[in-house]
Structure 1
Amino acid sequence: MKLNFQKLLDAIFKIRTIWIAIFLPALILGIFFFGITLNNVFTETYDIERFTNAKQTIRSPITIENEQETERKTRETVQAVEDRYLISEEVTHEQVGYVEEIFDAIEKLENELVDPDETSNDGAPVALTNQDNLIRLKEILSQEIVENVNDSLFLKLMEIPVEEREEGKKVFLASMTDVLENGVRTENKNSRINVVKESVKYTTLDQELINALEELSEFAIVENSFYDAEKTMEARKEAGNSVDPVLINAGEIIVREGQTITNEVYEKLKLVGLLNNERNIFPVVGLAILIFMIVSVITYEMKILHKKNKLDKGKVLSILLVSMIVVSLMKVVSLYTTQTNQLFFIVPVATGVLLLKLLINERLAIVMATLYAIIGSIIFNSQIPGALNVEAGIYFFFSQIAGIIFLRNVKDRFAIVKSGLGMSLANILTVLLFVFLSFEKYSLLDLLIYSGYGVASAFLSAVLTIGLLSYFESGLGILSDVKLLQLSSPNQPLLKKILTEAPGTYHHSIMVANLSETACEAIGANGLLARVGAYYHDIGKTIRPHYFIENQLAIKNPHDVMSPRQSAEIIINHPYDGAELLKKHKLPKEIIDIAMQHHGTTLLKYFYYKEKETNKNVKEEDYRYPGPKPKTKEAAIICICDSVEAAVRSLKEPTEEKIEEIVSSIVNDRLMDGQLDECPLTLKEVKIIHQIICETLKGIFHSRIQYPIKEAK
């Protein structure tokens, strides 16, 4: 029962630790993101009355259809459609036939100049009078003509000479046909008659004929265009469907400062939700969901680091601070960005991912690059709820990814500058991408300005990364590769101290560093950390350098005149003397831990067995290092390589068999003694380490040709 209770307490403590280490920082970051982006989705509402003057220019926060205005525009368009009429070809042909019939009948009568039934006293034929001709004409004409044409018109036409009448016929029929084919409606009949009259009035015909033709037009021009309800409805329907919806676009000015709030303006403000506080809750809910998803991804990544024992207070704070810096930079620039001045191109957004890659790892940097791009697309949305600036998001993403890709082989801070050059190229290409995809015409000057913004963004990202990196390293205690490379420089004061005061120890440390780095890289551990840690692991020997055999060149061993207990005390203290010295010089905690842990709680066998020769009651714990045991893979590997290097170096004739025997003996001793119990090394990794150390030592201590010695004569 007690054991179960203890497990429960351990589980609760672990949960609390995870909450403090991961969930609480993620929550703080989520609140920060939400606060920064809130005004980009939260629409300000106004308390406005009709017929007052606007105190400021108000823009639409959304794109929405003005249904009332669309309906009005559709109604006006439909009403503007004219009635459709059907022109009757039958009526046209009939009227043309009537006119031709009149002229043809008159021409026929003129061929019959005498009455065939009557003769004079002398037997000569009697000529017909006009009245007789009129009677005969009416007898052969259609009833429609006779009923609607005056006799006087017939008489006038009969009195016109044949040639002139024929010419008048051609002119009249041409004008009449044209008018009828264009359609004659009841309401425009008179005007169409006048068209015919005008067409004959200004000809060279005889005035009598003109008058007759003008009179004839009253009969000839009749209604032949009739209202077509079906075609009219079809035309109106088509016109109504062709009307585009009237939209109020996001960002469109609804009313300018000082203008009167008319009914129309008031309805627009109401439609887009600027008078309704309740509508603001929906964009806020959407933003909260997005921020929750972003924070969930960050939490997941931090949990992965936590499982790998790579998440500490400094790294958590670095994620918080870097994220806040990047998002704040975007927010500040967005305050000065307009639709015509796209300043997001100049934001040094890659600063954050460069720092995260240097301080933590590349995976987290790539994930955060994506999240920063999403947040940037919100921040640069011109404060239009529901809108995302896709251009800004794409630009930020590729700029950051380019920075991560080009930041390779970090040997010094100049590598960051090289990464800046790669980012410049990526930024310029992204700007060109937008230019070529856009329908807008960009001038050469605009292209140069935006490209310059991209180069400036890359340059500022590199400069800020270089400037901020040292503050994160020192302020948060984070050990980056750049810092490790600096510490590995032979010009470092402590390394100079080892070289000048304990040269043997310096050489030993270099050998241990080579072995440790190779072994670490073979199992995926931090080889650079192991190398630098090995450089400093024996710094404590500089306190009393001559008490260590590698520094006893041409001098008597002081341990020969000391008791085993005194000698052991001096030897055992060197890891802790070194740790104090490293703390004094403010070296990173990881290096200090390696110096303290590189002997673990191993037994100082030489002096223990020497003491045991004279004192059978000697206690083993008096000759053991106090620890702690190695906690990391790097410290454990250095612990092994430190003993292996010293042991192999002591061999007078190192052979492959002897090297393998010594390495196996030391590795097995560390395992059996429990020195590797607290580090995350697996047995498979230990086997790989054993193999790599043997191969490296065989390469160092390979056999050489024995050159003959020239005998003196």
Structure 2
Amino acid sequence: MKKKVRRNNKLEEFIKKKKYVISISLSAVLLGVFFFFITLNNVHTDTYDMERFSMANETIRSPVTIENEQETEKKVRETVQAVPDRYNISTEISEERINYVEEVFDAIATLETEEISESNEDEKTNEGSNTDKIAPLSNQEKVNRLTQILSEPIIKSLDNETLIQLIMTPKNEREAGKGLIVENLEIVLNNGVRTENIQSAISEIEQSIKYASLNEDLKEPLMELGKFAIVENSFFDVEKTQEARKEAASNVDPVVIRAGEVIVQEGQTITNEIYEELNLVGLLDGQRNFFPAIGLSLLIILISSTIGYELYLLARENMLEKGKLISIIGISILVITLLKLVSLFPISENQIFYIVPIATGAFLLKLLINERVAIIFAALFSILSGIIFNGEIPGSLNVEATIYFFFSQLAAITFLTNVKDRTSILKSGIGVIIVNLITILLFVFLSFEKYDLIDLLIQSIFGIVSAFLSIVLTIGLIPFFESVLGVLTDMKLLQLSNPNQPLLKKLLTETPGTYHHSVMVANISETACEAVGANGLLARVGAYYHDIGKTVRPQYFIENQMSNRNPHDFIDPQESAKIIISHPYDGAKQLRKYKLPKEIIDIAEQHHGTSLLKFFYYKEKEKNGKVDETIFRYPGPKPQTKEAGIICICDSVEAAVRSLNEPTEDKIEEIVASIINDRMTDGQLDESPLTLKELKIINRTICGTLKGIFHSRIQYPMKEAK
């Protein structure tokens, strides 16, 4: 029989695990498909069937940011071509030509000096005699003498007429002319003279001489000197030119088509250039849309896998009831739908995504499930918001939206500390408002853009409204999840613990002994659960209702027997066992009738597991040696949760300790250890997630609690009077 029961239990466990796997997989896939299709248009772009030189029926913007390589190459080519050639100016040539000019003037000055010196010597020689004076040199003779002392290039380039005109010019005027032409030559030659601009350089010299305040007779020879002095002194430098072109090309910014940039206006002709841009950004090629869809699919796979893993962890801890699973799916769909609806409005000016009540999901998930699930889903929702609010520009993410939504949800989770009180949602909403405003200011100060005060005010109002709507939605939706989906929250448990609840009133009035027993078990169980990290409030409320079935036949339970007559003394042990064994299931029936949460019903059904009614079993065995043990065992199920397992222990412990005449510390420790050991050896805790380490902690906690409760009844030895 026991082997058959074990096989049945294993089969039930296998079926249960298989159902969990199917439920988790379907849920993850369902959410993944929903996320994919609701974000698909944010990465998918429309394509157009257009011809060159046709008219655009609508304004088309670029869906991506991409470099127009063809235009970049064109811009580089034009920039390189605009770079002027680089030349080397020969200072040696410049100095040489200026020296030639100065040489002419210096030679004439030297010739004049020699002529004066010879004239003075001749006067001294002929002084006092009648000898004839030597005649002065003629201009031709002076020219002849100049040709003997001037450099060959000068003689070859300058004619005699020019030299004669310079010789005939008074010294002071000639010096002024020298200064003028040398100064202008230095300017022109230092600027560089190339073959193609020799004439312009000569014209520049001539113009400066022409309008100078000089003797008109001197201007012509000066112009001739200028023509002679101006030669090519600037030569093309290949290396410098190439280096300058490379530098110019490297400084050219690439031509980039920005995401959201208008490519063609409605009614505009599609030129070759526009057509090429449309083709470049993929608006003429529908096949390119497969790549963003593949990228989105990979992201959704990661998100769905994360969701599946979190659901698996919940299932492993026996926390994934049907109502909670539906709640997770419903909250996810609600939050993403809200994001999508708000994203349909323009967000360019006032950042309207600040108004989304994203914290609703975080509030609900922490209240209905736990903090870990709330944080994980907060991160997933934030990632999806970055895609949803990307302005339908493939390949881009709205990082501001991602950061804002993540910190808003994290604030909701952090500040919601006392989940047993609905007013705590209002208090945590203030924290969400503060974090929202801080995040908005963060973006303002990080941005280079200048914000108007009115824009900042509007965005701040959006952040406040977001927190307010989150509070309203959370408070409004909590009753739906509690009543319709049957999800048990701490706030619901607090309502059920109210003594004015109909069943608790019935328990108090009809079975006061059982009521007192239930309160004691509740106190002990709550402390033990909190010591091992279980839900103490659930244990307390479950203990309040665990013996509600005793109200069906209260007189058959010893704590309710006000007189000395025990009805079990007058009936068969099997009949007594039947009455006692039925109370967990009578209680579960009443709890279902009053529509109490499944967790409370499970505790009522499981708090005795499949344990043996030893008193009536051995009483029957005294009369019948072949008694069937299964008749005296509860049909189960065994405790499936930590809370049910702890109540199973505390129920027996409280009854046993209460029956002691003198509950000393040693007796209490002995009874608690004995009951826990009995439950373990009888296999009553095999299906609960309680570990041996936790059972040791439970043992110490129960003993400490009972010692405190029965402290006044413990008798201490009195000293004998001497």
Which piece of structure 1 moves more, 681-690 or 279-288? 681-690
Q: CA RMSD in A?
A: 3.3
Task: Count residues with an aligned counterpart.
Answer: 703
Residue type matched to 1:559 in 2? P
1:196 aligns with 2:212: no
Q: Is the 8 A contact 2:350 2:458 kept in 1?
A: no
**Cα gap change, 1:696 to 1:292, in 2 (>3 Å):** same
1:339 aligns with 2:348: yes
SS in 2 for 1:691: helix
Which piece of structure 1 moves more, 256-265 or 101-110? 101-110
Which piece of structure 1 moves more, 75-84 or 15-24? 15-24
Equivalent of 2:34 in 32, 35, 60: 32
Alignment of 1:647-662 (within 5 A): 647-662=656-671
Question: How far is the alpha carbon of 1:223 from its aligned partner?
Answer: 2.4
Question: What residue in structure 2 maps to residue 17 of structure 1?
Answer: 19
Which piece of structure 1 moves more, 172-181 or 332-341? 332-341
Residue type matched to 2:104 in 1? I
Which piece of structure 1 moves more, 469-478 or 450-459? 450-459
| 2-structure distance, mates of 1:394, 1:655 | 60
Question: How far is the alpha carbon of 1:46 from its aligned partner?
Answer: 0.9
Question: How far is the alpha carbon of 1:70 from its aligned partner?
Answer: 0.9
Structure 1: which 5+ runs fail to align? 708-713
Alignment of 1:251-330 (within 5 A): 251-330=260-339
Which piece of structure 1 moves more, 16-25 or 266-275? 16-25
1:177 aligns with 2:179: no
Question: How far is the alpha carbon of 1:633 from its aligned partner?
Answer: 2.7
SS in 2 for 1:86: strand
Question: How far is the alpha carbon of 1:630 from its aligned partner?
Answer: 3.0
Question: How far is the alpha carbon of 1:512 from its aligned partner?
Answer: 0.9
Question: What residue in structure 2 maps to residue 515 of structure 1?
Answer: 524
| 1-structure distance, mates of 2:595, 2:546 | 15
Residue type matched to 1:320 in 2? I
Equivalent of 1:403 in 412, 433, 442: 412
SS in 2 for 1:322: helix
Identity of aligned residues (%): 63
Q: What is the TM-score when the length of structure 2 is the normalising length? A: 0.89
**Cα gap change, 1:207 to 1:537, in 2 (>3 Å):** same
| 1-structure distance, mates of 2:551, 2:482 | 27
Question: What residue in structure 1 maps to residue 720 of structure 2?
Answer: none
Alignment of 1:218-617 (within 5 A): 218-545=227-554, 548-551=557-560, 559=567, 563=571, 571-602=580-611
Question: What residue in structure 2 maps to residue 50 of structure 1?
Answer: 52
**Cα gap change, 1:582 to 1:524, in 2 (>3 Å):** same
Q: Deviations over 1:334-381 (max 9, x none)?
A: 222433332222222222232222222222222222222221222222
Question: How far is the alpha carbon of 1:149 from its aligned partner?
Answer: 1.8
Q: Is the 8 A contact 1:410 1:482 kept in 2?
A: yes
Q: Is the 8 A contact 1:157 1:165 kept in 2?
A: yes
| 2-structure distance, mates of 1:127, 1:384 | 99
Residue type matched to 1:64 in 2? I
**Cα gap change, 1:348 to 1:135, in 2 (>3 Å):** same
| 1-structure distance, mates of 2:660, 2:526 | 23
Q: Deviations over 1:568-623 (max 9, x none)?
A: 66554443332222212211011112223333445556667778889999876666
SS in 2 for 1:125: coil
Equivalent of 2:76 in 54, 74, 77: 74
Question: What residue in structure 1 maps to residue 67 of structure 2?
Answer: 65
**Cα gap change, 1:450 to 1:557, in 2 (>3 Å):** farther
| 2-structure distance, mates of 1:8, 1:667 | 24
Q: Deviations over 1:264-302 (max 9, x none)?
A: 000011111111112111111111111111111211222
| 2-structure distance, mates of 1:676, 1:148 | 124
Question: How far is the alpha carbon of 1:449 from its aligned partner?
Answer: 3.1
| 1-structure distance, mates of 2:195, 2:626 | 139
Question: What residue in structure 2 maps to residue 206 of structure 1?
Answer: 215
SS in 1 for 2:235: strand
Which piece of structure 1 moves more, 617-626 or 376-385? 617-626
Residue type matched to 2:368 in 1? L
Q: Is the 8 A contact 2:365 2:374 kept in 1?
A: yes
Q: What is the TM-score when the length of structure 1 is the normalising length? A: 0.90
Question: How far is the alpha carbon of 1:154 from its aligned partner?
Answer: 1.9
SS in 2 for 1:222: coil
Equivalent of 1:103 in 99, 102, 105: 105
Question: How far is the alpha carbon of 1:484 from its aligned partner?
Answer: 1.5
Which piece of structure 1 moves more, 541-550 or 316-325? 541-550
Structure 2: which 5+ runs fail to align? 717-722
**Cα gap change, 1:420 to 1:204, in 2 (>3 Å):** same
Q: Is the 8 A contact 2:515 2:544 kept in 1?
A: yes
Which piece of structure 1 moves more, 556-565 or 460-469? 556-565
| 1-structure distance, mates of 2:402, 2:639 | 45
| 2-structure distance, mates of 1:11, 1:592 | 20
Which piece of structure 1 moves more, 176-185 or 682-691? 682-691
SS in 2 for 1:226: strand
SS in 1 for 2:374: helix
SS in 1 for 2:711: coil
Q: Is the 8 A contact 1:564 1:610 kept in 2?
A: no
Residue type matched to 2:206 in 1? K
| 1-structure distance, mates of 2:21, 2:714 | 64
Equivalent of 2:701 in 655, 668, 692: 692
